[in-house]
Structure 1
Amino acid sequence: MDQGKFNVLGIKVNAIDYDTTVEHVIAAAKARAPLTLSALAVHGVMTGALDPEQGYRLNHLDLVVPDGQPVRWALNLLHRANLSDRVYGPTLMLRICDRAASEDLPIYLYGSRETVLAALVKNLQQRFPRLRVAGYTPSQFKQVTATEQRQIAAAIVASGAQIVFVGLGCPRQEVWVYENRDLLAIPAIAVGAAFDFHAGLLPQAPTWMQKYGLEWLFRLGQEPGRLWRRYVLLNPQYIWLLMLQWLHLRRFEQPLPQPPEPLRYS
């Protein structure tokens, strides 16, 4: 089920479910066709709502799925999407890996740190014994030159991977998949904290907290120093702007006519 894209604070978010998202990714992987995807929670939406250049990038991704419950609720409130579930990035990653394993589609992991990636590969292959990991590259935590960007993309392509998962953190990972789409010509999927979760380095919120949109509170308790600004400042602003859009007191558009200058995060 994919109802198309709908405006949430100026960001075009797909009203879509897990099964259809996975089918889009697998079809593109088999065809060796480009497909850019990000799973956005409130923070991701707000990065685009507050920054026109980031909004442009997000609105030129092929799929933007509602990772957070408040994003799903916004689609239901504003556009009557009637979504019964979100498309949570860490769960989506596992579902794609399951299909990739069963259909012999090699994956690649880009981002995070060497130790995280090594643990992630081990855990994924224990969970999906038939999964082929074509390779992985940790983040350099810097901006690279155009030549270096092409070399990184070429190495991923040369590995034989047909799907690449990107874990650089929001908004760097969305910039990465947007800027590398045509260099890779395979599905590139931004999955945020999924690398740390599946590597066993960060615990996920209890199911009941996820269901009621309280995952942010759990994560704030885990990493208060890093995340307090994201949740304490952006969450109330998101609710306020969402109410303005719902009451038709403000229109949210992304009028930036030209692509932003490359950032080339790595």
Structure 2
Amino acid sequence: MEALTTGPRDQRRCHVLGVPVDACRDVTAAAIGLHAEAGGQIVTLNAEMTMLARRNADLGAVIRAADLVVPDGAGVVWALARQGIMVQRSPGIELAWSLLKYAEAHGWRVALVGASPEVMERLSDRLAQQSPALQLVFVEHGYQDAGVWPELEARLRRLSPDLVLVALGVPLQEIWIQRMRDRLPGLWMGVGGSFDVWSGLKQRAPGWASRLQIEWLYRLLQDPKRWKRYLALPQFAWSVLRHGERQR
């Protein structure tokens, strides 16, 4: 494991089941420090993504190359604690929102990509009301015809925003970000279902569910079709118990 730095990108690279994750005192400060150093890709790691990265070589390579990997899920925090590495859980939706507010306050140019047309329309309206100073320079939904994407991508590259939030689902959003941000500045981050919540079309799990570490159950009750995805959770726990590193 690398030593913890004392600069603005204060972070220590660790591993859970061979998948990288960074321990930071303050993930928002680390992300802002990354922007100051010409930008990079932020990945938010949970148990489900960890297990997928072990099966999907492309996703695993993206995470290894990412500039900041945030411990998004309670399972990842637990697995790190078994190694004696104590970190706070850092939900990606909260980090992304903090970066949006920072972008508004500091004149960053922001791009939003993904989700459905309805979600993006409602999200744009909400942001215009809640964050009138936010410089939204690019807003495109993710349900585009294949022939449209090259022009959209070229336009996004020309704009070269300070912050790009992408909601295309795992692993597509992470793989797409890595390809897009080559030689471009700014922060690029996959945000999963955050746009759905910010638009008001879906509700985030309440605080009590987060404290009990059962947000996954709340999401499952909202969308039962996701049940197969959550089979990764017991598989993750069993793998950590069997093969995960322990504190020496």
| TM-score band, normalised by shorter chain | 0.7 to 0.9
Pairing 1:146-185 to 2, within 5 Å after superposition: 149=150, 151-159=151-159, 161-182=161-182, 184-185=184-185
**Partner residue, 2:235:** 237
Matched, 1:47 2:46: no
**Partner residue, 1:218:** 218
Matched, 1:4 2:7: no
User: Residues 160 and 186 of structure 2 are in contact (CA less than 8 Å); yes or no, is this contact kept in structure 1?
Assistant: no
Percent identity between matched residues is: 29
The alignment's TM-score, normalised by the length of structure 1, stands at 0.81
Matched, 1:103 2:110: no
The alpha-carbon deviation at position 159 of structure 1 amounts to: 3.3
SS of corresponding position for 1:7: strand
User: Residues 134 and 160 of structure 1 are in contact (CA less than 8 Å); yes or no, is this contact kept in structure 2?
Assistant: no
CA distance in 1, matches of 2:183, 2:146: 17
**Partner residue, 1:77:** 82
User: Residues 16 and 244 of structure 2 are in contact (CA less than 8 Å); yes or no, is this contact kept in structure 1?
Assistant: no
Q: Deviations over 1:120-170 (max 9, x none)?
A: 12223333232111121111467679xx54x43331133352110001111
**Partner residue, 2:227:** 228
Indicate how the Cα distance of structure 1 residues 124 and 7 shifts in structure 2: closer, same or farther if over 3 A, else same: same
SS of corresponding position for 1:182: coil
| CA-based RMSD | 2.2
SS of corresponding position for 1:184: coil
CA distance in 1, matches of 2:211, 2:128: 28
SS of corresponding position for 2:104: helix
CA distance in 2, matches of 1:239, 1:141: 37
Q: Deviations over 1:80-114 (max 9, x none)?
A: 2211x211111111111111111010110011122
User: Residues 205 and 218 of structure 1 are in contact (CA less than 8 Å); yes or no, is this contact kept in structure 2?
Assistant: yes
User: Residues 30 and 105 of structure 1 are in contact (CA less than 8 Å); yes or no, is this contact kept in structure 2?
Assistant: no
CA distance in 2, matches of 1:15, 1:242: 18
Q: Deviations over 1:15-34 (max 9, x none)?
A: 125xx332343344456x24
Opposite residue 72 of structure 1, the aligned amino acid is V
Q: Deviations over 1:209-245 (max 9, x none)?
A: 11222000000000011x10011x2111101111122
Opposite residue 16 of structure 2, the aligned amino acid is V
Kindly tell me the number of residue pairs found equivalent between the two proteins: 238
The alignment's TM-score, normalised by the length of structure 2, stands at 0.87
> Structure 1: which 5+ runs fail to align?
249-266
The alpha-carbon deviation at position 5 of structure 1 amounts to: 1.4
The alpha-carbon deviation at position 119 of structure 1 amounts to: 1.2
> Structure 2: which 5+ runs fail to align?
1-8
Identify which of 113, 117, 120 aligns with 2:120.
Answer: 117
The alpha-carbon deviation at position 247 of structure 1 amounts to: 6.2
Indicate how the Cα distance of structure 1 residues 115 and 190 shifts in structure 2: closer, same or farther if over 3 A, else same: same
CA distance in 1, matches of 2:21, 2:36: 25
Opposite residue 22 of structure 1, the aligned amino acid is T
Higher RCO structure (Cα 8 Å, ≥6 apart): 1
CA distance in 2, matches of 1:6, 1:29: 21
User: Residues 71 and 89 of structure 2 are in contact (CA less than 8 Å); yes or no, is this contact kept in structure 1?
Assistant: yes
